[in-house]
Amino acid sequence: MIEETFFMGLPALRMSDDRLTAVVTIEGPMRVFDFRRLDGPTLFIELPDLTVPSGSGPYPILGGHRLWIGPEQPHTTYAKESRGSTVVEHDDGLSVVAAPDAIGVVKSLRLRARDGSFVIEHAITNGGDQHKELAPWAITQLRIGGCGYVPVSRSQVDEYGFQASDRVAVWPYTQLSDIRFESDCIVVEADRKDPFKVGVGLSEGWLAYRLGDELFVKRTNKLIGTYLDQGAAGQCYSNHLFLELETLGPLIGLEPGASTSHIEAWYAHDLSGLDDRQIAARMAS
């Protein structure tokens, strides 16, 4: 079911099936908000007044889920977004195609309801007249108070176990003493005085966030290619306002008119009454 609505003062569409719901803004910055179970709370945060400086003026972060482009650079990642979108409704969901941004990149989202999840296809198209090297970058901002889970693969990748199974990336502001390893995960607390970020190769294909008895999981398939940030296809950032779960597609050269896409599947689980083994299974499945 798709219905017209307003969210944070922006025209939007609400998409729902018999279990899940989400809101997609269709005017101004393109974002996804309020993803949740029909009978549960959302973990997506709303930040209507949050902006960051950019070369074209304050860039609205807003919260929720957004499609960015990597590598992170002031003139590309923070390029001013245009107003107006083209919306197409489908039998299993909807598509929103934003107008070209200030550097001619066209961003689009397609949401599908599928097998107890919402599948989000992120696409970027080079709408300019010059070659561009870009990577799609899917960022979900979540309420503080819980913990993010970033899996570190321990799977044997060669016959003898000689080869490394994963990588851990850090940023200049990451305090190494704050990296908390538990079993096969890095656990990131979502309420930090100082910014913190960590990334992994994402061989396991998922990232998760738990707040109380609510769990949000997003999954993606890592492709063959070059990944930014030392190969960190999965990333988690946290500060005093929000926590971000981020996945990236590979860096690709786009000629004018060419596109690339990156797909995530989103899940929302009620953890009430589940033991640790069952909760771990919800994260990884």
Strands across the sheet containing 147-151: 85-90, 93-98, 105-114, 117-126, 259-270, 214-219, 206-211, 147-151, 185-189, 180-182
pLDDT for 213-227, tens place per residue? 999 999 999 888 999
Q: Give me the pLDDT at residue 39, please.
A: 94
Q: Give me the pLDDT at residue 182, please.
A: 92
Q: Where are the chain's structural domains?
A: 2-284
Burial of 91 (0-12, 13-18, 19+ CB in 10 A): exposed
| Cα 8 to Cα 24, 33, 128, 157, 255, distances in angstroms | 11, 10, 31, 47, 36
CATH architecture of 2-284: Distorted Sandwich (2.70)
pLDDT for 113-162, tens place per residue? 998 999 999 999 999 999 999 999 999 999 999 999 999 998 888 888 89
pLDDT for 80-110, tens place per residue? 888 888 998 898 999 999 999 999 999 999 9
The pTM assigned to this predicted structure is: 0.96
SS3 at position 7: strand
Poorest-pLDDT segment among 43-47, 71-75, 156-160, 280-284: 156-160
pLDDT over 90 (residue 63)? yes
Q: Give me the pLDDT at residue 55, please.
A: 74
Residue 19 falls in which region: left (phi positive, over 0), alpha (psi -120 to 50) or beta? alpha
What is the pLDDT of the chain when averaged over all its residues? 94
Do 134 and 105 form a contact (C-beta atoms < 8 A)? yes
